[in-house]
């Protein structure tokens, strides 16, 4: 996984698959790099909360994936 401003210089042309990370990683990695470079990070914990996502149901109904996925998006904040 590569994040601009964090580790993009580690990319080599022989790498066939490249991930641009996730929205959470793209947000947190640059800040984490600055803090780590200056003070050092021993351990970290992160929680992302999306109010609604494109795959979440808008009304409560069964989900084939998991029970959390069946909760109504507009009434629940679900960590992802």
The domain locations on the chain are 1-46, 48-80
Q: Which residues are catalytic?
A: 23
pTM for this prediction: 0.51
Burial of 80 (0-12, 13-18, 19+ CB in 10 A): exposed
Asked if 51 and 71 count as a contact pair (C-beta separation under 8 A), the reply is no
Residue-by-residue pLDDT tens, the chain, 80 positions: 777 788 888 888 888 776 666 777 778 888 889 999 999 999 988 887 766 777 776 777 777 777 666 677 777 666 55
Asked if 73 and 53 count as a contact pair (C-beta separation under 8 A), the reply is yes
Contacts for 42 with CB less than 8 Å, ≥ 6 apart: none
């Amino acid at each position: 996984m590569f994040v601009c401003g964090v580790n993009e210089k580690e990319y080599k042309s022989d790498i066939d698959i490249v991930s641009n990370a996730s929205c959470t990683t793209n947000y947190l990695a640059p800040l984490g790099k600055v803090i780590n470079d200056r003070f050092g990070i021993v351990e970290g914990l992160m929680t992302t909360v999306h109010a609604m996502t494109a795959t979440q149901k808008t009304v409560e109904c069964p989900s084939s994936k998991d029970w959390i996925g069946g909760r109504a998006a507009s009434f629940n904040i679900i960590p992802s």
